[in-house]
A = this chain, B = another copy of it.
């Protein structure tokens, strides 16, 4: 089965998750800079952070399915599992913002990030075990980045119990690490001069 419809559906969910988060931004009652900063300042920062995460997942998802554009029933559900965690971002981001980075909301936000990271690993492994999955295995063989993210999320959750704001440091670090574009797939495809077929062009 071709992955094109799975990709389209995932794109739709991610596009909406991003945009729905903006709906969570409270519009200031007043009309001054102080109102904007006070009502929406933190919200804009957490929105930016969650936007970057969604962008990272979209980029990685895009790369992953370019390596391996056919899917089985197991991949369909592994993908829906990932989308479930990502669809909760607007909810946990809103709670984090409205409580001004209190302890429990920070932990819950971290657990949401962690859940999505684990779901992404499951998706990648499910695809690697499929027929044709050796391309995924080779390209992501020493998947250092894939392990650093969950570790940093766990660190953030732990730091939250000291001072909740501290948790944001490792969370932000993950975003920065991934913003450096992941060239592994491009390098792999170039090295093998082996495009995944006409499916990609469509």
Contacts and interface: CB of A to CB of B under 8 A. Distances in A.
B73 A59 contact: yes
A181 to B, nearest CB: 3
A103 interface: yes
Contacts of A105: 31
Nearest to A74: B181
Contact of A51 (B31, B87, B186): B87
B77 A179 contact: yes
Contact of A98 (B27, B80, B88): B27
The bracket for how many chain A residues form the interface is: 35 or more
A199 B27 CA distance: 42
Contacts of A201: 2, 4, 198-199, 202
A105 B28 CA distance: 10
B73 A181 contact: yes
Nearest to A55: B80
